Amino acid sequence: MSTLIPEKPAPEKTGSPPGGPQGPATRSLLLRRLSVMSPLARRLTALAALAVVLVPFAAVLWGSGAWPGELGVDVSGPLDDLSQWIVDNRDTSPVFLYFLLHISNTSVDAVDGVYSVLDGLGWPGVTAAAVLLAWCAGGASRAGLKVAAVALGAFAGCGLLGMWDPAMLTLALMTVAVAVSVVVGFALGLAAGLSRPVDRALRPVLDTMQVLPAFAYLLPFVLVFGTGSPAALLATVIYAAPPMARLTALGLRDADPSVLEASASLGASSRQQLLKARLPLARKELLLGLNQTIMMALSMVVIASVIGAGGLGDEVYSALSTVDVGAALAAGIPIVLIAVWLDRTTEAAGERIGAPPAADGPRLLRGGPAWAVAAVGTAVAFAVGKVAGAAQWPAGWTVDISGSVNSFQEWTVDNLHAGVPVLGGTEVWASNFTVWILNPLRDVLQGAPWWSLLLLVAALALLVGNWRNALGATAALAATGVLGVWGNTLDTLSQVLAALALTLLLGVAVGILAARVGWVERVLRPVLDVLQTLPQFVYLIPVVALFGVGRAAAITAAVAYALPAVVRITTQGLKKTDPAALEAARSLGATGAQQLRQVQLPLARPALLLAVNQGVVLVLAVVIVGGLVGGGALGYDVVFGLSRGDLGVGLVAGAAIVCLGLVLDRVTQPTVRETDH
């Protein structure tokens, strides 16, 4: 292509003189010194200068302990007033009567409607529909049978564990939430994909939403709608729509420009361009967006049981609150099964796109006829079920696992928690971990002068990013102090740091192993696939069984949740290093360790940084949810606020979680975003 694309004129490098009360002579000396420094050192020097000026001032004025009370703002009073006002006016204010009430009623009606359809179909009808749908998504061929088998297993599992009804309620919530999320996300993505200003406005919002823990979304909706399925549904929609919007926009933007040009050269109108070229080209991204939206919706619907969404999550939640591991597991397994079913079905549909039709063998049926078969099959199963009077899952076909699980749990308490020779026991580890690592870490953080933490965050953010990052991160951390939850935030932070360190240690080690040893990766891949699809909530069940209730349990769950992503990113980063560079190192006689240290790890640096960023976001999400199993701190404040109806406490904790999420993201996020335009 010799098309001339005008390049932007290179921005003039302007050395910004650092502010300071020096005389002109010293200033010019300083400037000369600064100009030879690397930009990073220059920025850090500027920060140090700023600190030298501001810190003594702040320390004298407000002391050097925890966040000074004078700098706080008590928001719980006004928040309580607000929530009281909402409670008082919910039935009279026009805002509620003509707008929010409609949303609330519509969502309740929609969920009820879907639930009654599922209920009316009966278990044979629902199972047949799910299985045939999976088969169609899998290409209606022999390859589709595998996907269909997963669906069959998932629904049989739900029934066998006696969780059919809660599972159907969860599915009904999911169906409504996903439908709305997809519509909203697609519309936003379409706007962002076609218009650059919309994209620029939307992107930072979506970026931020992606790093916030699910728990932070719950409270504002409870404030407005009260607990119950409308709040749960809306929180889910807000949580699950961003990936759809993001991937739709990405798919539309990344469409092969040569195809679009060819289409324009044939005289396509802009509508034809969109419908016949852009959207079909983006099908892969659209389906990936659907997949992610579904998985996030499931995760949120389960968590939203805390604010009154019924279904499987509610079973887990109530079981966990009485530390009934058996009952929690009986409800947790169906969640896993549903997650795997949904993931496999949407993934199979996504994989079929782009695969040449000849590749998956001769097909009996394609397109329309396959769907017709699915519809007829569902109808037949429904009719058979009706005739046989099998609307409810037969009571005789259930297996109660909670008893045996609980006796196994008691056995682990007796045998594994303590007194294992040499190793100690899980309870011992947990308490050692808490006493020797978590507590000192928390005490150091809470004992450190408040300004030193702000400074540290600013310096870290500068190291990986730029001034904007540093400013954002510092302001977010300060905001937690202003809100009056400095201590709790640092407690949560100490848990996040401990969990992150563990995650990175394990994740990078396993990632390196998987990248170098073929069979390790082959064994790990299906495990990671499943682990990555599970909702955060599910991870809490086994850790409570092993470690009891407490911070160590929450941290273990967080590590388990974040580990798959970190392992995967590390492995991919290492494997994607330029093979030519690796070959060159080998030809020079480098040993395996030298190759790793000198070539692979340096080249995989961007991937490793991404792993840290992802790890932090995922760890934070679960550490917060860990408030349910004794994680304490901010997560507990949210739960406490909800269960006591003390929304002031909960909302403040929620805001602090948002702030902490922003701090952690800004501090670990390399500024690669700025390069794309």
Partner 1 sequence: MSTTLSKEPAREPAPEPTGAPPVFSIRKLWKVFGPKAERVPDSELADLPADELRRSTGCTVAVRDVSFDVHKGEVFVVMGLSGSGKSTLVRCLTRLIEPTAGTLEIDGEDVRAMDKSRLRELRRHRAAMVFQHFGLLPHRTVLDNVAYGLEIQGLGKLERRALAMKVVTKVGLEGMEHRRPAQLSGGQQQRVGLARALAVDPEVLLFDEPFSALDPLIRRDMQEEVIRLHREEGRTMIFITHDLSEALRLGDRIALMRDGEIVQCGTPEEIVAQPADDYVRDFVRDVPREQVITVRTAMRAGACSGPDHPGALAPDTIVATAIEIVARSGAAACVVEDGDCLGVVDHENLLAVVAGIGSERAAVS
- Which residues would be at the binding site for partner 1 (CB under 8 A)? 1-9, 256, 258-269, 272, 276-277, 280-281, 283, 353-354, 356-358
Distance of closest approach, residue 9 Cβ to partner 1, in angstroms: 6
Distance of closest approach, residue 675 Cβ to partner 1, in angstroms: 21
- Residues 241 and 227: their CA atoms lie apart, in Å, by 21
Of residues 276 and 605, the one with the C-beta less far from partner 1: 276
Distance of closest approach, residue 274 Cβ to partner 1, in angstroms: 13
CA atoms in the 13 A half-sphere facing the CB of 2: 0
Of residues 8 and 32, the one with the C-beta less far from partner 1: 8
Of residues 257 and 518, the one with the C-beta less far from partner 1: 257
Of residues 260 and 506, the one with the C-beta less far from partner 1: 260
- Residues 398 and 162: their CA atoms lie apart, in Å, by 5
Helix-, strand-, coil-residue percentages of the chain, each rounded to 5: 80, 0, 20
Of residues 12 and 91, the one with the C-beta less far from partner 1: 12
Token digits for 143? 């390859």
Of residues 5 and 60, the one with the C-beta less far from partner 1: 5
Of residues 4 and 25, the one with the C-beta less far from partner 1: 4
Of residues 357 and 592, the one with the C-beta less far from partner 1: 357
Token digits for 381? 């199963």
Element (H, E) at 637: helix 633-644
Q: Which residues of 304-339 are buried (b: 16+ CB within 10 A; e: fewer)?
A: bbbbbbbbbbbbbbebbeeebbbbbbbbbbbbbbbb
- Is the CB of residue 567 less than 8 Å from the CB of residue 560? no
Of residues 46 and 260, the one with the C-beta less far from partner 1: 260
- Residues 346 and 190: their CA atoms lie apart, in Å, by 21
Helix (H, G, I), strand (E, B) or coil at 355: coil
Distance of closest approach, residue 361 Cβ to partner 1, in angstroms: 15
Q: What is the 3-state secondary structure (H, E, C) of 184-219?
A: HHHHHHHHHHHCHHHHHHHHHHHHHHHHCCCHHHHH
Of residues 12 and 70, the one with the C-beta less far from partner 1: 12
- Residues 187 and 183: their CA atoms lie apart, in Å, by 6
- Is the CB of residue 427 less than 8 Å from the CB of residue 418? yes
Of residues 32 and 677, the one with the C-beta less far from partner 1: 677
Distance of closest approach, residue 12 Cβ to partner 1, in angstroms: 11
Give the list of residues 6+ apart from residue 91 with CB closer than 8 angstroms, or none: 97
Give the list of residues 6+ apart from residue 402 with CB closer than 8 angstroms, or none: 324, 326, 327, 329, 330
Other Cβ atoms less than 10 A from the Cβ of 12: the count is 5
Distance of closest approach, residue 196 Cβ to partner 1, in angstroms: 17
Distance of closest approach, residue 264 Cβ to partner 1, in angstroms: 6
- Is the CB of residue 535 less than 8 Å from the CB of residue 503? no
Token digits for 329? 């597991």
Token digits for 40? 């990073």
Distance of closest approach, residue 134 Cβ to partner 1, in angstroms: 22
Distance of closest approach, residue 5 Cβ to partner 1, in angstroms: 7
Distance of closest approach, residue 14 Cβ to partner 1, in angstroms: 17
Q: Distance of CA 306 to CAs 226, 302, 332, Å?
A: 12, 8, 15
Distance of closest approach, residue 146 Cβ to partner 1, in angstroms: 24
Q: What is the CA radius of gyration of the chain?
A: 28
Distance of closest approach, residue 543 Cβ to partner 1, in angstroms: 45
Distance of closest approach, residue 364 Cβ to partner 1, in angstroms: 18
- Residues 546 and 247: their CA atoms lie apart, in Å, by 39
Distance of closest approach, residue 485 Cβ to partner 1, in angstroms: 50
- Is the CB of residue 383 less than 8 Å from the CB of residue 391? no
Q: What DSSP string describes 212-255?
A: S-THHHHHHHHHHH-SSHHHHHHHHHHHHHHHHHHHHHHHHHTS
Of residues 28 and 269, the one with the C-beta less far from partner 1: 269
- Residues 86 and 223: their CA atoms lie apart, in Å, by 8
Of residues 9 and 21, the one with the C-beta less far from partner 1: 9
Closest CA to 409 of 316, 326, 320: 326
Distance of closest approach, residue 280 Cβ to partner 1, in angstroms: 5
Token digits for 309? 């969404």
Of residues 283 and 575, the one with the C-beta less far from partner 1: 283
Of residues 2 and 92, the one with the C-beta less far from partner 1: 2
Closest CA to 247 of 178, 192, 180: 192
